[in-house]
């Protein structure tokens, strides 16, 4: 199969390129070339997608059996890719997000659930990464464009929490890192908190299998339902230091200590308020029936820790508590 990956140098799109190469495909990766090189064996094509028409010019009259597009924040990029390639490509995968759903509190939701209103333009860069609704709306606008132009051969994958090697968001990796270092580690005391994740290698391999099989339709791209407590337990079993003590701290203490949810500095990554539990509690029966296979969380934890070590365990993080912040929370918990 001849496959073009729009991206291919980082995390998911790189894993897609690797999976396609492993399957014996001829792989072209399109990126600016600022985030690194694609995997060995892939053909690198340098394009800046913010320049309309650049993709069409760079790929000339080439034909592809499959396209995988991960465009994050720009419906115009997606339309430009369709202009360039829809007439010369077979299967089309667009990687969307679970943030596309309008009601993230709904637990057990399926892909038929209502989505946010679409945003068809490119959002203001000042809000694009701080407003999940803008992100979700851009994904909906992008999905619409793909269905409109290639709906008869399109796979839309609404990604959930992607984890493992190459993750640049520092969320799941925070726990692999923290748990591997031992001592008293703050965890949110939220019984029943749902959690759901997918190892980037499993999602990538499934995307490539779908492209080969011609699977079309819309699917949530994440693994089976679990709980946050269970996931932390599985990470502990895989990479936990001897003597590790997971200290369950009530949410009232976390809030009073200014600890944030989900992502960002001074946060406990993966912790969600109940208003967002639906993000980590999707009914993915259809996805599993369509062939997504998932490895044990332990394997993802080991891959995440290896990646964390490569980035530097003590680096400044995008998500999580610093040692000093964690000590302050533990003091407040003990004295409060
Ligand atoms: N991480 C999660 O947990 C999560 C959850 C749900 C959904 N998702 C979705 O999953 C996908 C993740 O994709 P990803 O891991 O490959 O990362 P990504 O950050 O979405 O894509 C990065 C790729 O795009 C290229 N790129 C960036 N700007 C470009 C430009 N102007 N022109 C051409 N290429 C450009 C990058 O290379 P250069 O920088 O070298 O150009 C890189 O190869 C996204 O669609 C994301 O929205 C992620």
Q: Tens of pLDDT along 242-294?
A: 999 999 999 999 999 999 999 999 999 999 999 999 999 999 999 999 999 99
Separation between Cα atoms, residue 300 and residue 260, nearest integer Å: 24
Closest to 55 (Cα-Cα) out of 34, 73, 28: 28
Whether the CB of 32 sits within 6 Å of ligand 1: yes
State in Å: Cα 29 to ligand 1 middle: 12
Sorted by where each starts, the structural domains of the chain and their CATH numbers stand as 2-159 (3.40.50.720), 172-195+225-335 (no CATH)
* CA atoms of 68 and 211, how far apart (whole Å): 9
- Between CA 43 and CA 37 the distance in angstroms is 10
The mean of the pLDDT values for the chain is: 96
Q: At what angle do helices 172-181 and 228-239 cross, to 10 degrees?
A: 50
CA of 171, closest atom in ligand 1: 3
Please give the pLDDT value at position 124: 74
What ranges in 27-105 are assigned the alpha helix state H? 54-59, 75-85
Range scoring the smallest mean pLDDT among 109-118, 120-129, 216-225: 120-129
Q: Mean pLDDT across the stretch 316-326?
A: 97
Ligand 1 atom, smallest distance to 11 CA: 15
Q: How much is the pLDDT for 132?
A: 83
Q: What percent of the chain has pLDDT over 70?
A: 98
Whether 130 shows a pLDDT value over 80: the answer reads no
Report pLDDT for 126: 67
Query: Which residue has better confidence, 127 or 200?
Result: 200
Residue nearest to atom 42 of ligand 1 (CA): 7
pLDDT (mean) for 57-75: 93
């Amino acid at each position: 199969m001849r496959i073009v990956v729009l991206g291919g140098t980082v995390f998911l799109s790189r894993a897609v390129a690797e999976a396609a190469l492993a399957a014996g495909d001829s792989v072209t990766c399109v990126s600016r070339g600022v985030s690194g090189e694609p995997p060995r064996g892939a053909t690198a094509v340098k394009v800046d997608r913010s320049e309309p028409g650049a993709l069409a010019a760079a790929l000339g009259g080439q034909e592809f059996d499959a396209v995988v597009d991960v465009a994050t924040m720009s419906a115009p990029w997606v339309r430009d890719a369709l202009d360039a390639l829809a007439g010369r490509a077979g299967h089309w995968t667009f990687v969307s997000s679970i943030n596309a759903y309008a009601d993230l509190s709904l637990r057990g939701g399926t892909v038929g659930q209502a989505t946010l209103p679409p945003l068809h333009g490119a959002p203001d860069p000042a809000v694009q990464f701080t407003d999940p609704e803008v992100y979700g709306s851009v994904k909906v606008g992008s999905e619409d464009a793909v269905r409109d132009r290639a709906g008869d051969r399109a796979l839309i994958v609404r990604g959930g929490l992607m984890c493992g090697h190459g993750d640049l968001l520092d969320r799941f990796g925070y726990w692999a890192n923290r748990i591997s270092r031992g001592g008293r580690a703050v965890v949110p005391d939220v019984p029943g908190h749902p959690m759901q994740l997918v190892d980037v290698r499993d999602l990538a391999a499934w995307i490539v299998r779908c492209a080969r099989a011609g699977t079309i339709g819309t699917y949530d791209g994440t693994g089976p339902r679990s709980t946050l407590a269970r996931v932390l337990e599985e990470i502990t079993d895989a990479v936990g230091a001897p003597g590790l003590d997971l200290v369950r701290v009530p949410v009232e203490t976390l809030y009073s200590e200014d600890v944030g949810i989900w992502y960002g500095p001074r946060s406990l990554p993966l912790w969600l308020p109940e208003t967002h539990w639906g993000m980590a509690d999707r009914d993915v029966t259809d996805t599993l029936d369509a062939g997504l296979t998932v490895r044990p969380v332990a394997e993802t934890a080991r891959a995440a820790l290896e990646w964390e070590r490569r980035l530097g365990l003590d680096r400044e993080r995008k998500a999580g508590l610093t040692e000093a912040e964690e000590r302050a929370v533990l003091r407040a918990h003990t004295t409060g």
